[in-house]
Chains A and B, each alone.
Chain A
Amino acid sequence: MAKNAKNTKNANSNSNDRYTISVLVENKPGVLARVASLFRRRNFNIESLTVGTTDRDDISRMTIVVNGDLRVVEQVMKQLNKLIDVIKVSDVTEKSVERELVLIKVKATSESRGEIVELANIFRGRVVDVSKDSIIIEITGDEDKIKAFINLMRQFGIRELARTGMVAMQRGEKVVSV
């Protein structure tokens, strides 16, 4: 708690800071609704939210990316902790590997197709579908890489885009588990 009190007064924290929170929850119906309802009623902004099971079937892991200052994020974490179905809440913003998977369908003519594939290769993307006038690329990476690649694709014309949202895991010894 002492650490939290200090953080509350941290003058350097900015309202547009981005935090990544890992939440372990009981894999029960309604858990996602509880979390979503909490964010809405407390006026917290979610940038992305992903859910999947862990190595245990009865426990799911949510990765939530939120914007706000430290005070807000501390409130988010404390309020999440109050939900009965939430088992553990961890801030994994620091020193973590963050990845997202994106599928992009780009307009591709016989002239532009070569260039698109080349750019995808540079970003270690994979071509997963090719048709007469479009191409689907699968790319994974952190936020910056994905943003850069999407920007590059705009010139060709993005026809469709689907993102999984961010998952994250801290490097080294630290683990988020029950």
Chain B
Amino acid sequence: MRGADAIVKALEDEGVKNIFGIPGGAIIEVYDALYDSGINHILTRHEQAAVHAADGYARASGKVGVAFATSGPGATNTVTGIATAYMDSSPIIVMTGQVPRSLIGNDAFQEADITGITMPVTKHNYIVTNPSELLHIIKEAFYIASTGRPGPVLIDVPKDVTVAEVEYNYPKKISIPGYKPKTKGHPKQVKRAAELIMESERPVILAGGGIILSNASEELIRFAELIPAFVVTTLMGKGAFPENHPLCLGFVGMHGSKYANYALTECDLVIAIGTRFSDRTTGRVDNFAPYAKIIHIDIDPAEIGKNVRVDVPIVGDAKEVLKDILKIIKYKKRKEWEDKISQWRRKYPLRYKNDGKLKPQYVIEKIFTIEPDTIVTTEVGQNQMWAAQYFKTKYPRQFISSGGLGTMGFGFPAAIGAQMAFPDKNVVDVAGDGSFLMNIQELATCVDFNIPVKVAIMNNQFLGMVRQWQELFYKERYSATCLRCKELRFDKIAEGFGGVGMVVEKPTEVEETLREAFEIRDAPVVIDFRVERLENVFPMVPAGAGLNQIIDG
């Protein structure tokens, strides 16, 4: 069969149900093959959004997300999406068309060296130089993207390869000599970890996104309850542990609650699982958990000892390692530590001023109380931090956010991906007015495919987080952060695209409007919340400070 037909058949054999993308000259044969396939294709309006949607689909479902783009500008538009997925270890496949092999290197029309460009932001990438390698490469790509520490894999396919005759024999098994991820923790280290846990009087679990990726939430709950240990999560770890659980202290780091940051600073043992100790989580590294020994469980050996000192390193899959440790630890009462934590909790609750003005925190709380099962995606900035603070995540994969790269414009297309994975769920993108504009064109996609994503804009007419920094650290010199868009009518824009638009100006309108929006199941809904413009995200640990040096509102 034609190379293009082999590609589509291989994707079917991999169980792919949805592809996000945009066609073009170099990938036209593959789209021709797709025409006869049962695979659902979502035509996004920008390739960046296609990749974010595939990423959102992967994060919501745990399956590999797939995006298509043509050569040249199509391919280069995918780069931010790929880098976003790379930083957050999200399993996606990006397939790009390429100019015919005979033209590669000649600066042909719509030619770009996309494998060269994406080398630093992919787990691996391929250019298919021989049609006979095509199927093997696809098989390898899915395997690499979804195993070990997951990540994006790009496959660049020259147009003549998609036309060439290929014999369809999709490989069942593959062996890559340089890629053998280790899932089982070393027994000696597991034993040492158990010993440290039993000795500890003030243990804290730092749960990262790795727990969600390894589907280890159940094990984590058993682990935390058995010790027992309080759990703080990173931004990526939100949802790894139910936030309504008495042992959960919520998310930690730059905008974490005071009690979570105090717990992580004062503890005598950090059990870090599936986290890379990003600077947003640790604060100043030499001030990080100064009294604690550190156990670090991660599937990627390169993360161990990269940012913080580690006493017991365990390389392995979170689920496997937790199962092993669970077998050899016992319950131990730690009354003093429990009392200390509940004291902090009482003394320093997460709070905001309820002064009759429309507060973004209030809106986010309402989303959660009206529909606790809502999948929330976020943009990046204040909206993201408020969502992380006030949306009490119940289950894994419920909170989807660009953590590592911090990509504004991620949340909306990611919500489209999440909605495709769970058509019946309520999916809300918590947005800022700055971020939403960065992929607003996807309203057309939602209308086209009847995707009922809700966009809740925390509209303060500012690039709010940068403005907050300018207020606190740059003497209120608001350089280029005021969006001056009082006249901008997001509700009318939504209507112009064929979706539904709503405006909320008073707290009393929030609940009713959200309920009305959540009822709509066949079109996108944009709700423009005209929130208090100068509201800040507190508490806050300034960049480069220790986690206990907290600024309060």
A residues near B, CB below 8 A? 1-2, 4-5, 8-9, 25-26, 29-30, 33-34, 37-38, 41, 71, 74-75, 78-79, 81-88, 178
Contact = CB atoms under 8 A, between A and B. Distances in A.
Interface of B: 115-116, 119-120, 123-124, 129, 144, 176-179, 186, 188-189, 300-302, 304-306, 309-315
Given A2-B189, A81-B301, A82-B302, A8 B309 contact: yes
Contacts, number: 60
Given A4-B313, A86-B178, A87-B178, A75 B119 contact: no
Contacts of A75: 302, 306
A1 B178 contact: no
B301 A78 contact: yes
Given A78-B302, A86-B178, A87-B177, A1 B315 contact: yes
B392 to A, nearest CB: 35
B132 to A, nearest CB: 15
B119 A34 contact: yes
Nearest to B296: A5
Contacts of B310: 5, 8
Contacts of A26: 177-178
B134 to A, nearest CB: 16
Given A86-B178, A178-B177, A2 B188 contact: yes
B304 A79 contact: no
A61 to B, nearest CB: 14
A87 B179 CA distance: 8
B177 A33 contact: no
The dominant DSSP class at the A interface is: helix
B120 A37 contact: yes
A74 B301 CA distance: 10
Contact of B305 (A71, A79, A178): A71
A3 to B, nearest CB: 10
B470 to A, nearest CB: 29
Given A1-B189, A33-B116, A84 B304 contact: no
Contacts of A74: 305
B391 to A, nearest CB: 33
A156 B302 CA distance: 49
A83 B178 contact: yes
Contacts of B124: 84
A75 B120 CA distance: 16
A5 B178 contact: no
Nearest to B126: A30
A5 B179 contact: no
B305 A8 contact: yes
Nearest to B149: A82
Contact of B120 (A1, A41, A82, A85): A41
